[in-house]
Amino acid sequence: MTGRSRRRVVTALLATAALLGAGGAAPARAQVAPDADWRTLRTEHFRVHFTPELEPLARRTAGNAERAYAQLAAELHEPRGPIDLVLSDDVDFTNGSATTFPSNRIVIYASPPADQASLRTYDEWNTLVVTHELTHIFHLDRTRGWWRLGQYVFGRSPFLFPNQYLPGWVTEGIAVYYESHLTGSGRVAGSYHRTLARAAALGGTVPAVTELSLASTRFPGGDAAYGYGGLFIDYLARTRGEARVGAFIETVAHAPVPFFLNRDARRSFGISFARAWREWRDSLRRDVAGVRGDRSAFAALTGDLWQAQGPRWLGDSQLVVGLSTGREVPGAYAVGLDGRVTRLGRRNEATPNSPAPGGALVYAQLDFVDPYHVRSDLYRTRDGETTRLTTGARLSRPDVRADGEIVAMRTVPGATELVLVSPDGARVRRLTAPSLDEHWSEPRWSPDGTRIAAVRWHVGGISEVAVLDTTGAVHEVVARAHAVHASPAWTPDGTAIVYASDSSGRSQLYRVALRGDGSDPTTARPEPLSDAATGLYFPAVSPDGARLAAVRLAAAGFEVVEGEVADAHRRGVRAAGERDGRGFLDRPAVPALPPAEPFGGEARPYSPWPGLVPRYWMPVTRPGQGGAGLGTDVFLGAATSGRDVVGRHAYSADVYVGTGTGLREYDAAYAYAGLGNPVLGLSYSQEWTRRALPSQLGPGELRQRDRVAALSATLSRPRVRSNAWVALGTELEWRDYRTDPAPALAQLNPIFRTSPSYPALQLSAGFGNAQRPVRAISPEDGVMLSATVRQRWLEHDVRPFTRSAVGIASVYRSLPALPGFAHHVLAARVAGGWADDAATSQFEVGGVSGGSFEVLPGIVLGEGARTFGVRGVPPAASIGTRAVAATVEYRAPLLAPGTGIGRLPLFLDRASLVLFGETGAAWCPVEAADRPACFRTTTEPEWLSSFGGEVDADVAVQYDTVYRFRFGLALPRENAVLGVSGGVRPYVAVGRAF
């Protein structure tokens, strides 16, 4: 409907949208639970927030944070003010985040990376993640020069942190460098990212520095920014001096324009990034120059994959593997020794699948259990039917015994343990005791079902391959080292274990015989089974013991490989003494950093108020609502917002003054998530609309003031594969009129001398289950549905004054048989709107639908979404109280360059071609022709139609934040009644059409 008052249709819902979102299938991420019982520890530099079950870990985190603060303060300029650190146990994966807006804040998830390849090199995981995220605060908070002056005037505006404008590979590279430099472990010290770089060097695909982006959908995706960024910053520190990293941060903090990376690098490191990158890339190539390809016995069964985990044998000639091609969503696949790959079923992630009795597969996957918690649970598939075995049990890496009994890893606050699970998932029994200093992962049953092999990590970075019985007693440790041991697998006779280890500097496969005498595992002599030029992971021995499968990291992705065990052993032993010399890519020797002493201060109840104090304001502008002949009154104003650190409260406010009229407009919105689900929203706004007075009254204008108060409640049900929500809102609008000059009001219709109020109720709901593979150019294979109904009254009249309803349905279907880096997609959308004959506002048909984003305060690109858009036709070319629109699109992938655009802070990831046909109409029924809302409308549908094509480019602005830019040509059909002419109409838009 028209007017900014309809733009706000229950404005408070917009406040909740930032918290919940609404669309297709939800990714597996969540924010901290705002309705939890939060407590706070206050240290010298931190406020550490946690829930009661996390108190032991929170006290360790506080000690680690203060020690990391002292370490970083010795090398970098200290950040301003206290730092809020939220320790959350709401998700079953490892992650953290840091922001300087509106204040310095860190969130750390309390799940150790017990089985994540890139993060397994840690002496104490909490120390590692705290150091990494705190580095971001030290780095991004630093401002000097006119940036500091701007913050003195405007506060902590998100636009006034110069280091925020750096590409992600620099920001994350610096944090990865310091996580290893200060702790002695982490990703620079680990083998995974070095293997990634080595594989690229061997394949001749080391990316250019302009090809690194957190938004990249080329393998290895955003991990390239962490991997290459960390190794490159480490290279600069070792070759140019460790102090130069801090000098670079200071240079950018003072730079008037923070986009000239080569200039700032020369001033700091004495060399431009471009030249230093070439030198570093050449060093990678020299380091692998003497490598004669892959000397192992393994042949690839698949092409390059985005992800591949946990191959398990299905008989002697076929494997089941959890993998993602990037073109499809993750799934379980059967991989034959002949190279034939067959999709068995969808998975939420590329997770291992354990064969179970009766031809079933048991696996774990992440999913939401509510809007704030993502948990890993067990599932079983058989004959195409899936059964969920557990809910919220936090179980992963299952392995199934011949009788159906399951052994799995369970995540607990700050640690992991092993458990036994009954075949139906109803019984879970603990095998090992949880400890912050000991983590268990990747359990596997012995062939006779009496023993379990698993990986045990000890504080200090020591990992072991241990053998337990079914009571949890450890009978033997067969391998132990300050390295990453992973993925133990039994030989069929149960006398030996095959596992992966990076003790040589790269992950290779080893076999060790069980001794059963409890002797020192450090004296054992594991037999090497590989000498891969890159790295091998997830070994699996065939049931006949003759063949060995694994996953190999290659230049463009992962490969599932296999070979004969005897040949692998022979080649591995022969090459064991022929390791490449200690070159650039080998792990450096660094001292370990143990956990800090736990903080012993008093824990107090959480208070949200320190995080809600306004920290900034921004100048903003918007045009006024002026009628013909009045010109446009420009409104200038100020805006601010705030959110407490756990997201329980959030608010925004802005106020405007018309430069020509002195009229005041304002908006304020507040969201409360303290109930968890629903989220409550409250808003209040005032705006003015101006119209010219009738000519018989002389020059002047009629001013309409609308004040709207709204309250809403939004329930959401996010899942990885779907997303559903429903919102109920109530609104009260007050309307009054004024004239300039004032006496003219008495000469107008008496209705303008009243001040009517309009109560309203609104119900909205939505559902989406469309898929989005990594490389997709569009939603695929699903639907997105939404509907809104609205009931409005006039003042104290209990009879309905006006009703309206809007519904939208979008359908997507992929065409996987067609070639390209992503699926071709057919997409269709239908929208309909209806308002009764008493409606006071209209639907608009026409214009280009899309999105918008704010480049700088008050500078917005894009016109936003249109319910009834028709490309090539002017906005609001047709209006009325009835409206329909339909669109059909064919979307095809064009190219995926995955590279920067010259020296601009832009990254072009993908481009696609869209061919479309679009039509729509709006009208009023004859019986409502005299209503104000039906002025200048038709009484029958006058169809507006167009067809054409566009090129859509997914461009990361600021290097890492992706927006879709659309460049199109539309050919509208001429409609003389509505004044629409034909001809080619070029257009530019932001965001997807739908």
pLDDT band for position 958 (50/70/90)? confident
Residue type present at position 366: L
**pLDDT confidence of 594, banded at 50, 70, 90?**
confident
Q: How far apart are the first and last CA of the chain?
A: 19
Strands 83-88 and 105-109: parallel
Query: Given the structure tokens 């259990």, which residue do they identify?
Result: 369
**What confidence tens digit (pLDDT) does each residue in 642-674 have?**
999 999 999 999 999 999 889 999 999 999 999
Share of the chain above pLDDT 90, in %: 77
Q: Determine the pLDDT at residue 394.
A: 97
The predicted structure's pLDDT at residue 581:
39
- Tell me: pLDDT of 921 over 90: yes
pLDDT digits (tens, 9 = 90+) for 44-65: 999 999 999 999 999 999 999 9
Q: What is the mean pLDDT of residues 706-724?
A: 96
DSSP string across 426-440: --EEE-S--BTTEEE
Residue 517 has pLDDT above 90, yes or no: no
**Residue 4 confidence class, pLDDT cut points 50, 70, 90:** very low
The DSSP 8-state label assigned to residue 609 in this structure reads H
Q: What pLDDT is stored for residue 590 in this prediction?
A: 59
- For residues 713-725, give the mean pLDDT: 96
Q: Are 478 and 467 in contact (CB under 8 A)?
A: yes
pLDDT band at 66 (very low <50, low <70, confident <90, very high): very high
Query: What tens digit of pLDDT does each residue of 166-218 get?
Result: 999 999 999 999 999 999 999 999 999 999 999 999 999 999 999 999 999 99
User: What does the mean pLDDT of the chain come to?
Assistant: 90
Higher per-residue pLDDT: 292 or 908: 908
Beta strands, E only, 523-663: 527-528, 535-541, 547-554, 557-564, 603-605, 618-623, 625-626, 634-643, 649-658
The token pair that represents 407 in the structure block: 């052994």
Higher pLDDT, 316 or 861: 316
Decide if 253 contacts 147 (C-beta within 8 A): yes
Task: Say if residues 805 and 789 touch (Cβ distance below 8 Å).
Answer: yes
Quick check: 582 pLDDT over 70?
no
Instruction: Give the model confidence (pLDDT) of 922-942 as tens digits.
Output: 999 988 777 777 877 888 899
What SS3 class is residue 905? coil
Pairing assessment for the beta strands 39-42 and 603-605 based on DSSP bridges:
antiparallel
Closest CA to 748 of 809, 676, 698, 823: 698
pLDDT tens, residue by residue, 7-45? 333 333 333 333 333 445 656 666 899 999 999 999 999
Q: What is the pTM of this model?
A: 0.93
Nearest to 767 by CA among 834, 719, 829: 719
pLDDT given for residue 931 in this prediction: 76
Confidence at residue 838, expressed as pLDDT on a 0 to 100 scale: 82
**Over 50: is that where the pLDDT of 67 sits?**
yes
Q: What are phi and psi of 288, to 5 degrees?
A: -110, 10
Q: What pLDDT score does 9 carry?
A: 33
Cis previous bond, 932, omega within 30: no
Is beta strand 906-923 parallel, antiparallel or unpaired with respect to 899-900?
Answer: antiparallel
Q: At residue 720, does pLDDT exceed 90? A: yes
pLDDT tens track for 108-137 = 999 999 888 899 999 999 999 999 999 999
Residue 540 pairs in a beta bridge with 549
Looking up tokens 């190219």 gives 895
Tell me the C-alpha distance between 978 and 110, whole Å: 61
Distance CA 355, CA 399 (A): 8
If you write DSSP's letter for every residue of 47-92 in order, what string do you get?
A: EEEE-GGGHHHHHHHHHHHHHHHHHHHTTSPPPSS-EEEEEE--BS
- Residues 922, 806: Cα–Cα separation, whole Å: 13
Residue with the larger pLDDT of the pair 858 and 758: 758
pLDDT at residue 623 greater than cutoff 90: no
CB within 8 Å of 175: residues ≥ 6 apart: 132, 133, 135, 136, 139
Average pLDDT over residues 890-914: 93
What six digits make up the tokens of 477?
């440790």
pLDDT at residue 87, as a whole number: 98
pLDDT at 621: 87
- The pLDDT tens digits for 358-400 are 999 999 999 999 999 999 999 999 998 999 999 999 999 999 9
The pLDDT tens digits of the residues spanning 777-807 come to 999 999 999 999 999 888 766 565 789 999 9
> What residues have CB less than 8 Å from 296, skipping those under 6 apart?
530, 531, 532, 533, 536, 563, 568, 571, 572
CA distance 663 to 687: 9
| Residue 852 pLDDT greater than 70, yes or no | yes
Distance CA 736, CA 208 (A): 62
